[in-house]
Amino acid sequence: MDTTSIYKEETGSEYPIKLIPILIGLGVLGTIGFSFSIHAMLVGHHHALNTTREVPWGLLISPYVFFACLGTGLCIVSSLGQVFKVESFRPIIPRTVFLAMVAMAIGLVSIMIEIENPWRVGLNAFLSPQPSSNIWWKTAIYSLYLIFMLFNFLSLIVKKEKMARIFAIIALVTVAMGNLNMNSDMAIQGSKGFWSDNYMPLSFIALSTITGCAAILLFTWIGRLLNGRKLHSEEDRALQATANLFLILLLGFLYFTGVKIMGGYYPDFTRNPEALYLLVRGDFSFNFWVGEVVLAVLIPLLLIVVNRGKQISVLAIAGLSCLIGTFVFFYDLVMVGQLIPHYYQYNVVDLPRYYSYTPSLHEYMITGGAVFLFLTAFIFGEIIIRKIFLPPSPAS
């Protein structure tokens, strides 16, 4: 079945016009947030950011990991329709491919801004490549993925289904390589096993797909609100299939959450008991129990089971809750391992039990800017998708 065959022309040419104020408003908020990155470069990162020699990675790493994993998850879900030809997922391909492309772009921009001299990234990547560097490989892999997804989306626009599928396959393989090795990037900080447990690669893939499902449920609902239309029956079936996949993955992710809880209460269960104690029972316990457990897993599970996937608004709330919770998850993942001092086990004189870190105003604003620019791109994408793919508008 042709991806766009379910779409037909509809009236209501005022639709793109009424989205312009929203587009401009979100764009302004995103620009204000990212303007703080320019100021940080002018005054110096050591003045604007609260990172230190002991804690070199701060809040700005979180949107990179979050959006990179979101882009991965959206690519995986879109591949179910494109690569594996699961018919129920095909109606959501255009929006999913576009959001996957945007999410990865925002993630790469976030990590570039975290670097004090971001213009050196692209230049040095070609002039002085470091094949032995995990970070170099990750940046190269994700940049290639972004290019393949762009060609994938362009192929969908010109209705070249076979070509789009080829690019989708290449993008899926590329992004899977990057995602499965993400814990290795973090482990180079020497955080004593917090990121290098054997379950971490599978955990990253599972959580990436979960965030992809959550984003599809949320942004499809928002798209429906923006254009004031009911979903086509095939779109509705696609969301039902996404909700079912979402439910299965959340049930599976309970295992990884249980592993963390076990590590927090039973030190012999993990290679870094101090970090898991800090996460599960220490200063990060609120983040863990409220963000990672309740928002990311329990509330979405409860809403999907009680609702049985019937109301898209309830599914959207489940998706929003999961996305907020997973952002907290990634923030904890980045920070907790770094707060355990090196050589803590040797009782070094004057070595603190934990290092400290609190995000600066610049870090908060830049992170907010990344989120608002993603939302700006989403609105822009809705205009493009509506204009090109012409989704149907069943009678209200």
Q: What is the pLDDT of residue 10?
A: 43
Domain count, the chain: 1
Instruction: Return the structure tokens found at 157.
Output: 């626009």
The sign of the dihedral angle between the CA atoms of 303, 305, 306, 308 is: positive
pLDDT number for residue 360: 95
At residue 271, the pLDDT reads: 73
pLDDT on residue 75:
95
Q: Quick check: is 277 in a domain?
A: yes
3-state secondary structure of 65: helix
Range of the domain at 165: 15-120+133-342+349-389
Torsion (CA) 126, 132, 136, 138 in degrees, nearest 10? 140
Per-residue model confidence (pLDDT) at position 187: 58
Residue 6's pLDDT is: 43
Q: Is residue 201 part of a domain?
A: yes
pLDDT reported for residue 18? 80
Q: Among 199, 190, 175, which residue's Cα sits nearest to residue 57? A: 190
- Predicted local distance difference test score (pLDDT) of residue 203: 83
pLDDT value, residue 49:
93
What is the signed CA dihedral for 75, 76, 82, 87, rounded to 10 degrees? -130
Size (the chain), residues: 396
Q: Does residue 128 form part of some domain?
A: no
Residue 396 domain-assigned (yes or no): no
- Tally Cβ neighbours within 10 Å of residue 254: 13
Using 70 as the pLDDT threshold, list the residues of the chain that sit under it: 1-16, 181-199, 228-229, 231, 309, 345, 390-396
Whether residue 196 lies inside any domain: the answer is yes
Identify the burial level of 395 via C-beta atoms within 10 angstroms of its C-beta, where 0-12 means exposed, 13-18 middle and 19 or more buried.
exposed
Q: Give residue 308's pLDDT.
A: 79
Judge contact between 156 and 138, C-beta under 8 A.
no
Please report the pLDDT score of residue 129 as a whole number.
79
**Residue at 8 is within a domain:** no
| Domain of residue 381, CATH code | 1.20.1630.10
DSSP label at residue 294: I
What is d(CA 37, CA 180) in angstroms, rounded to the nearest whole number?
30
Tell me whether residue 168 is in a domain: yes
Q: How many CB atoms lie within 10 A of CB 237?
A: 16
Token pair, residue 353, equals: 């039990």
Instruction: Report pLDDT for 304.
Output: 93
Dig out the tokens for 128 from the structure: 């002085």
Q: How far apart are CA 77 and CA 126, in angstroms?
A: 32
Which residues, including other chains, have CB under 8 Å from residue 135's CB and lie 6 or more apart?
A: 185, 188
Angle between helices 93-114 and 61-82 (to 10 degrees): 160
Please answer whether residues 374 and 63 qualify as being in contact, where contact means their C-beta atoms are separated by less than 8 angstroms.
no
Nearest to 272 by CA among 197, 165, 200: 197
CB 89 within 8 A of CB 236: no
Residue at 7 is within a domain: no
pLDDT at 198: 62
pLDDT at 9: 41
